[in-house]
Structure 1
Amino acid sequence: ASDQYKLRHFGDIVYFSKKLRYCILYVDKKDAKQIINEISSLPFVVKVESSKEESIDLGSDHIEQQITDLAQKAEDKLQKVQEKNKDQL
């Protein structure tokens, strides 16, 4: 099974980029520390970051925009890191 499906066990995947190899996973705050520890130990996981967003209203009419915004922020950050790494080579 792909790594994306393995992550579904831990929470709700709200965004997955196969091209940039990252995933945005929504988990309950009360379980976050334990899940971060478990995900960090998976062989295909390089890094786990907690969102600075305190909450996402999953019942909101604006949920798609909230997820799109989170995905765009993550993608922009990842592209900057990749560009910086290319420049250092």
Structure 2
Amino acid sequence: MQQLLVSPAELAAMLGLSLRTIYHRLHTNGDLPTVIRIGRLPRFAIVDVHILLDAKRNTSTSSTEQASAPVRRRGRPPTQGEQIAKRHAGSGV
């Protein structure tokens, strides 16, 4: 028979997270599948775990394709005095 529910320890192993992280996210309404409580024990539906993983996979691939690395300008950054002077020159004061 196929397992329908997983424990927090099993979920941690599936997601590659620590058990402590799972419980922390559980108590702070973090990024976890829907919780099913059997008595006071938290359990997670295996179907919801797969849905979460698919959603993570889709968002991570789309964000890496769209996001480009910021262009770093060479040289030192402007000093605070230079920034103020530039603001005043741009505002016409």
Normalising by the smaller structure, the TM-score range is: 0.3 to 0.5
| More helix per residue | 2
Instruction: Decide which structure has the larger Cα Rg and report it.
Output: 2
- What is the TM-score when the length of structure 2 is the normalising length? 0.32
- What is the TM-score when the length of structure 1 is the normalising length? 0.33
